[in-house]
Amino acid sequence: MKEKTATEETAMIRFKVNGRPVEFTIGQQVMPWHTLVRTLRETLGLTGTKTGCNNGECGACTVIMDGKSILSCSTLTVECAGKEITTIEGLGDPINGKLHPLQQAFVEHDGLQCGFCTPGMIMQAKTLLDETPKPTEQGVKEALSGNLCRCGSYQKIVESVLAAGKALRGE
């Protein structure tokens, strides 16, 4: 049997999740085929990111990688080296627990029913508002069109995102 080389023994992967560094040994906590959603949920205990279809169809697993929204079910953990990942758990203020304006708006405008799609929906909306602080209603619909809500809360989700945009703009 071939002996392991020093490189293989120490194959590590480092990235940041919600501002904090994480480090895994590939082949131990993280296997090369592990998806990011699996690592987030099963290894890091961040179950706010949901697995809806596990196939890049529903958007429930949306997280932010270096400012862009990605589907964490379709991203391998080993692809995340050096990246900055933000999940729903990283959105509010960690010190005082204050909700992000998007979260606040979803509560106030009832932009959810069962809430299973909500973390992905909010993360997708965050990247939209980061890039386009004043989106149109149609712009919100297009940006969120890959995030499915079977409860059909779409109308109130759009209201929530538009309201959050206003709050973020200080209007």
Partner 1 sequence: MAEQLAIIGKRLPRVGAIDLVTGSAKFTQDIYLPGMLTGMVLPSPHPHANILSIDTTKALALPGVRAIITHQDLAGFPDALFTANAGPLKILDKTVFFIGDYVAAVAAESEEVALRALELIAVEYELLPAVFDAKESMAPGAPVQKSQWPWNVWNSPERGQPSLTIDKTKLTGGNVEQGFAEADAIVEQEIHTQAMLHAPLETDTVVTAWDGNGVFTAWTKECPDRMIGWLWPILSKVYGTPINKMRGICHNAGGRFGKHVDLRVLSMAAVLARIAARPVKIQGLRDNEYHWSRAISHSLVKMGGKKDGMLTAVQMKTVSNFGITHRMPGTEPRNIGRTPNWTWKCPNSSFENYGVYTNLSGTGSFRGFGSTQGHFAVSQLCDRLIERLGVDHLDFYLKNHADGGDWWEAQKQTPNGLDECILKSAAAIGWQEKWHEPGVRTLPDGRKHGLGVAIAVHSGGGCSIPGAAFVEVNKDGSVQLFAAGDETGQGVYTIEAAICAEELGVRYEDVRVTRADTESAPLASFSAHSQNTCNMGGAVQLAARDAKKKLLALAGRELGVTPDELEAREGWIYLKADPDRRIALSAVTAKYVGSGAVVDGKPIGCRLDGYGWYAQWENVPWTPGDPEGSLVPKTWMCHMVEVAVDTDTGAVEILNYVTAQDVGRAINLNTAENQLLGSTMMGIGFALLEDFIHDPQNGQGLNASYLDYKIPTHLDVPPTTAILVEPINPNSVFGAKGIGEGSLVPSAPAIAHAVYNALGLRFDSTPITPEKILKALGKVK
* Interface residue list for partner 1 (CB under 8 A): 41-42, 45-55, 57-58, 60, 87-89, 91-92, 99, 102-103, 106-110, 112-119, 122, 140-142, 144-158
Q: For residues 150 and 88, what is the distance between their CA atoms, to the nearest angstrom?
A: 20
Q: For residues 39 and 57, what is the distance between their CA atoms, to the nearest angstrom?
A: 19
Nearer to partner 1, 7 or 52 (CB): 52
3-state SS class at 41: helix
Report the helix count and the strand count for the chain, using DSSP H and E. 6, 5
Nearer to partner 1, 5 or 45 (CB): 45
What are phi and psi for residue 35, nearest 5 degrees? -85, 160
CA distances from 97 to 57, 100, 144 (A): 32, 9, 26
Q: Least distance in Å: CB of 6 to partner 1? A: 27
Nearer to partner 1, 119 or 165 (CB): 119
Q: Least distance in Å: CB of 24 to partner 1? A: 16
Nearer to partner 1, 10 or 114 (CB): 114
Q: Least distance in Å: CB of 117 to partner 1? A: 5
